[in-house]
Structure 1
């Protein structure tokens, strides 16, 4: 990993499947984090009538560009990448739903990914600029990838300010 860009150089010998997972999983989780911050987004995910097209549901108008960037990063075709994104999304949503308590599904879903934000973002390849596509450039901020006692403290403070409650 390049300490200046916080990315694995594209010329590094990494299997395309590993690159696809490295790009698609955190991209999907980041998009879910963004959409699940609102009650409307939670309802969209809970009541998704087209579970085979999660990419459109979570990335919206940016779906094509996200798929193109992940495909380029991983050396997969766009069609293969879209299939994988839909599979990853479906599995992530199933895991989130399985871990919900019945009392308050909306609050539970919102809390699930909000609490995991700082565990997701360090794995999001900066070269993809997914935050830019999702309309939140703070997601691409390289300080999200920093770790250590001061960075951890700063992330805790940041969570306090970004919590919707």
Structure 2
């Protein structure tokens, strides 16, 4: 636990040194990918626009943003299911803080599902529920999930070219 923050600080320091500005990493993120901390303004704009069919916000991609909205709205539900299992506090803190960091950042909202992948503790309740499935049902669920995620990843990579 002590080494990870040192690694992050070292990397941020190295980028700042190479760019000649101690805020270089943030400038790089903003300039190259329009990715910056905005206290959630952009996320709120997307979450209030997409469900009502409005797409006049920055970086609008209707289909990808709808998938992102669904994923973002599933996180609180999965968090409640995780809390019912009484996991170690470190998993809850990690999950909640990671979610808040993603939601407080301006980004291509279509990428939000990718940014939320590190929230692996949210899969624990799903895994526990799936262990009750019989083999054919489990193969169907996992196969469908693999096909859906693979086809979406291919679409994003080859059709959109989203970073």
Scaled by the length of structure 2, the TM-score of the pair is 0.29
Larger relative contact order (CA 8 Å, sep ≥ 6): 1
Scaled by the length of structure 1, the TM-score of the pair is 0.28
When Rg is computed on C-alpha atoms for both structures, the one with the higher figure is 2
